[in-house]
Chain A
């Protein structure tokens, strides 16, 4: 294939796109919408799994002791906790500190301390951090064997829930995107069919003078690829800037939410979205050529 020929294919493809301007426009828009949804799902799953990981990293084990545990026993327990394999740090929260935290949570206007009649009903508790999130359940088992331990609290289920949410978003995303992709392929096939119809005379002449099948096919395939590419380009740009704008707003409004500020997540999204557009366009053209271009 000669360089000049490739130029000819490009020219024919672009000419057809302009000739069926509104149909091309609709195809590009559909590709863009589908890919924006695809990209949005990618960003969403990236963020929920990121949040899940963050939460997992942060899991603390709260070890509540019986209220009547003597002070020296409390201290001894701290050493024992430290000795459990996999424990990263142990921190004692004395009952006085616990009460202060609690009254802060209730708010300044409630005088919790006086409401309790000057007594502190809270136990001492330890905050234990694990070296690795996977070791949490093992550590918890060890702690439960120790004396004076009334109750052990850790983020039971929260992490699991987050991961299962991520999984469902992913499944939902795949299904939605697959359906949309099928619709998009179909719409591109219709657009290419219009082009085949508009150029049927040329195609007939090309066939009768002996142009090769691929010479006849390429402009149509390129047209589909272009439509897909333009759609993907629009989708990438829209997603890119919306995400940057959105994470700024989210971090401003919900500072506790750990969102992916890291732009590598955007790069990964673009790496998926940008080639998917041309692929969809290629498949659409191929579908139409199979059915309507009898060579």
Chain B
């Protein structure tokens, strides 16, 4: 369970990225985080895996205030949160398989287990036939799938995506969404930041709307046209 209590984030340059946000996300939920760019979605995601600390307020994950986490405890938090970045962040000099296995190698998993699990997740994201391709040989959607595979290979409880479909065509976006829903059904809490209303409207999931750093709506189903 994730709980935010009066969280504000003011960057050193004075930008108020988030203002007094309070919300709770239950275990196993699928939550959309929407809002125009600059609304604070990326900041919120960065706070969740302790890339940034909140200026005010508390963030509780599994009952622990992660703002107060000791430096040595941060890696343990991050092992429980898979992150998919907007720009994928794949290593260009490694194949799809190696990109995914890298995430397990740096956590010192045994080689055999790495082999099995990487095959399994690449199969799951539909890249069974492309695991030996380098990122530049893969399409945008496929690269996205590699990034998702890497984020879930260590079996995190929470999967966070920052605009995962930002640069993809609508058809590919739909497929990625389907994949994320599958991952969610297997018990992982999924938080997906996006500004694509077409995707949001496709499901019945909870939508948290941010605007200029403020929480403007937190509701089950939203049905209104996106003005941007």
Contact = CB atoms under 8 A, between A and B. Distances in A.
Contacts of B51: 208
A43 B106 CA distance: 46
Interface in A239-295: 295
Contacts of B106: 205-206, 209, 211, 215
Contact of A207 (B78, B91, B108, B111): B78
A205 B91 contact: yes
A213 B71 CA distance: 9
Given A8-B105, A213-B72, A208 B78 contact: yes
A2 interface: yes
Interface string A1-21: 110110010000000000000
Interface string B1-38: 00000000000000000000000000000000000000
B89 interface: yes
Interface string A194-221: 0000000110111111111101000000
B78 A5 contact: no
Nearest to B49: A208
A1 B105 CA distance: 13
Interface string B149-181: 010001000000000000000000000000000
B76 interface: yes
Contacts of B111: 4
B187 interface: no
B134 interface: no
Given A205-B89, A210-B74, A210-B75, 17 more contacts: A8-B105, A205-B102, A205-B103, A206-B106, A208-B51, A208-B78, A209-B78, A209-B79, A209-B82, A209-B106, A210-B76, A210-B78, A210-B154, A211-B106, A212-B75, A215-B106, A295-B71
Contacts of A8: 105
Contacts of B80: 210
9 contacts: A201-B91, A205-B89, A205-B91, A208-B83, A208-B85, A209-B82, A209-B106, A210-B77, A295-B71
B107 interface: yes
B75 A213 contact: yes
Interface string B86-103: 000101000000000011
A209 B89 contact: no
Interface of B: 49, 51, 71-72, 74-80, 82-83, 85, 89, 91, 102-103, 105-108, 111, 150, 154
A195 to B, nearest CB: 15
Nearest to A209: B103
A210 B106 CA distance: 8
Contacts of A209: 78-79, 82, 103, 106-107, 150, 154
Contacts of B74: 210
A2 B75 contact: no
In order of increasing CB-CB distance, the 6 nearest A-B pairs are: A210-B78, A210-B79, A211-B106, A210-B75, A209-B103, A206-B106
A26 to B, nearest CB: 25
A212 B73 CA distance: 9
Nearest to A208: B83
Nearest to B147: A205
A209 B89 CA distance: 12
A209 B77 CA distance: 9
Nearest to B76: A210
A1 B85 CA distance: 29
B72 A201 contact: no
A211 B75 CA distance: 6
Contacts of A201: 89, 91
A5 B106 CA distance: 9
B66 to A, nearest CB: 13
Contacts of B108: 1-2, 4-5, 215
A235 B108 CA distance: 37
